[in-house]
């Protein structure tokens, strides 16, 4: 069964599962896990990759034919640092795609809404395809969309928490009103979380810890692949919803509509 393709900034991606590259025990485990996941878009922290041409355990294990790189700005604390990091990433990795993440707080790694909006405006002007990582804040998502973000990446739960879709009520609003793809990022801990995200209409999910820190990251990559496909297929098939108990004329009296002829 085929589902509709995901298109971001005019590029059709073969998978709705995006993966991180951190926390793996080795480059080869990472490569096997990515392959099992079917992911095409792969994010890596600029601060973790060698930008001087020296051998790099992440980049060297990524087949340029198979994967599209999504450098991220993890570690920057404000818009100014993010813009600098973005320019470096574009230079070093040869892509104008960018996962923008700004967290001034090193403990919980909460994204800074104000700096993210400012940085998005500037980076779009500079020709970047910007995918900002942010709170599940519907108004912020619309403002980022207007600023030219190619997608929005609201969090499902605190990063690394594996709690799942804790922000569901806000994600539903974001999905309902967004004109750009919605990628749920952070907090997804199990394949069923990813399936639930796609079922509710999210365009994609980004997963790192849940796969990289699993006992068997390769098998877990495959599990997320199936979950994302199942969730999307379920969404497109039209969920049946809970069964309504309503039966026509079930009401002995019709107190609200009996005035009608």
Partner 1 sequence: MTFVDTWKKHDFAAVAASIATRTTDDVRRALAKQGRGLNLDDLAALLSPAAAPFLEEMAALSQRLTVARFGRTMQLYAPLYLTNVCANICSYCGFSAQNRIPRKALDDAEILADGKAVAAFGFDHLLLVTGESSRYGFAYLQNAFRLLRPHFSSLSMEVQPLEEAEYAALTAEGLSAVLIYQETYDPAVYPKHHLKGPKADMAYRLATPDRLGRAGVKKIGLGALYGLSDWRAESWFLGLHLQYMEKNYWRTRYSLSFPRLRPHEGNEIPVTPFNERELVQAACAFRLFSQEIELSLSTRESPHFRNHAYQLGFTSMSAGSRTNPGGYASEPESLEQFAINDDRTPAEVAAFLKSVGYEPVWKDWDASYDGASAPTVAAVN
The residues that are catalytic are 99
Binding segment (CB under 8 A) for partner 1, from list 13-21, 38-46, 225-233, 253-261: 253-261
In the bound state with partner 1, the residue whose beta carbon lies nearer, of 50 and 251, is 251
Burial of residue 57 (number of CB atoms within 10 Å: 0-12, 13-18, 19+): middle
Q: What are phi and psi of 43, to 5 degrees?
A: -105, 145
- What does the buried/exposed string (b/e) look like for 124-137 if buried means 16 or more CB atoms within 10 Å of the residue's CB? beeebbbbbbbbbb
- What token pair was written down for 85? 């990091």
Instruction: Pick out residues in 137-156 that bind partner 1 (CB under 8 A).
Output: 142
Q: Is 241 in the site for partner 1 (CB under 8 A)?
A: yes
Near partner 1 by CB under 8 A: residue from 1, 54, 64, 243: 243
Q: How far is CA 201 from the centre of its chain?
A: 13
Q: Is 10 in the site for partner 1 (CB under 8 A)?
A: no
- What token pair was written down for 27? 């480059």
Near partner 1 by CB under 8 A: residue from 172, 214, 219, 226: 172
Instruction: Pick out residues in 65-124 that bind partner 1 (CB under 8 A).
Output: none
Residues in contact with partner 1 by the rule CB under 8 A: 142, 172, 176-179, 238, 240-244, 246, 248-251, 254-257, 259-261
């Amino acid at each position: 069964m085929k589902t509709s393709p995901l298109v971001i900034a005019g590029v059709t991606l073969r998978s709705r599962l995006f993966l991180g590259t951190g926390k793996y025990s080795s480059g080869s485990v990472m490569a096997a896990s990515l392959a099992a996941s079917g992911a095409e878009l792969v994010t890596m922290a600029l601060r973790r990759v060698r930008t001087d041409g020296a051998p790099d355990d992440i980049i060297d294990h990524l087949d340029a034919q198979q994967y599209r790189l999504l450098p991220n700005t993890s570690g920057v604390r404000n818009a100014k640092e993010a813009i600098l990091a973005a320019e470096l990433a574009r230079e070093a990795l040869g892509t104008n795609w960018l996962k923008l993440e700004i967290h001034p707080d090193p403990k919980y790694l909460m994204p800074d809404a104000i700096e993210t909006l400012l940085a998005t405006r500037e980076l779009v002007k500079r020709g970047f395809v910007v995918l900002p990582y942010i709170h599940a804040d519907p108004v912020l998502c619309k403002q980022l969309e207007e600023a030219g973000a190619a997608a929005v990446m609201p969090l499902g739960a605190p990063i690394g928490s594996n709690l799942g879709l804790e922000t569901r009520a806000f994600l539903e609003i974001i999905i309902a009103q967004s004109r750009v793809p919605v990628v749920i990022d952070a907090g997804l801990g199990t394949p069923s979380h990813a399936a639930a995200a796609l079922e509710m209409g999210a365009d994609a999910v980004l997963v790192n810890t849940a796969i990289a820190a699993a006992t068997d990251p390769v098998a877990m990559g495959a599990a997320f692949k199936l979950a994302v496909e199942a969730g999307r297929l379920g969404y497109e098939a039209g969920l049946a919803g809970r069964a309504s108990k309503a039966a026509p004329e079930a009401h002995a009296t019709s107190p609200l509509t009996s005035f009608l002829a």
